[in-house]
Amino acid sequence: MIPLSLTVNGKKVSLEVEARTLLVDLIRSHLRLTGTHIGCDTSQCGACVVHLNGRSVKSCSVLAVACDGDEITTIEALAGLNGELHPMQQAFADCHGLQCGYCTPGMVMTAISIAKEREHLDPSELREELHGNLCRCTGYQNIVKAIVAGAEAMKQG
């Protein structure tokens, strides 16, 4: 077992994990934050995206021990203290950017990163940016609309 200290959703966490523990397993099994989903186990679907030190990463491709001292943000940290949704979450709801919802946490986390990195969001470029996040239910049209709307709301807020 390897000792590990990190900050998850603003809270300091210290625990011991096996060297082979993936970040997604640490988040889901050890910390019981189940909003981060496991979709493929091959780093292709994006359902497990979290922010690691402010950058989007697929948590199924990162060893937990590599995150010692780092800051992790999961989908659970986005809503406000009174339960109000993050602007990107609200945009996904308003624009019907989800169907079954399984991919939604990873999509939202990726969308927030895209919105922070880009001044202007072109829908055709967004589709390319989302190449690492798979949705098996939708045609991405409403997801793209949601990201554009969410990015605009983030700028205003």
The pLDDT of 87-114, averaged and rounded, is: 94
Same domain, 59 and 124: no
Per the CB < 8 A criterion, the answer to whether 97 and 91 are in contact is yes
**In this predicted structure, what is the pLDDT of residue 20?**
96
Tell me how many domains the chain contains: 2
Query: Pick from 34, 59, 77: which residue ends a domain?
Result: 77
Same domain, 70 and 93: no
**In this predicted structure, what is the pLDDT of residue 26?**
97
From 77, 92, 79, 66, select the one nearest 31 (Cα to Cα): 77
Same domain, 148 and 104: yes
Residue type, 120: H
Same domain, 58 and 92: no
Instruction: CATH number of the domain at 98, please.
Output: 1.10.150.120
Instruction: CATH number of the domain at 64, please.
Output: 3.10.20.30
How do residues 39-80 score in pLDDT, each as one tens digit? 887 888 999 999 999 999 999 999 999 999 999 999 999 998
Per the CB < 8 A criterion, the answer to whether 33 and 27 are in contact is yes
* Cα(117)–Cα(24) distance, integer angstroms: 24
Domain assignment present for 38: yes
Same domain, 68 and 39: yes
Per the CB < 8 A criterion, the answer to whether 22 and 64 are in contact is yes
How do residues 2-28 score in pLDDT, each as one tens digit? 999 999 999 999 999 999 999 999 999
| pLDDT at position 122 over 90 | no
Domain assignment present for 106: yes
Same domain, 38 and 101: no
| Residue-number span of the structural domain to which 117 is assigned | 87-156
How do residues 29-47 score in pLDDT, each as one tens digit? 999 999 999 988 788 899 9
Domain assignment present for 82: no
| pLDDT at position 157 over 80 | no
**In this predicted structure, what is the pLDDT of residue 120?**
84
- pLDDT band of residue 104 (cuts 50, 70, 90) is very high
How do residues 131-156 score in pLDDT, each as one tens digit? 888 888 877 899 999 999 999 999 99
Same domain, 14 and 60: yes
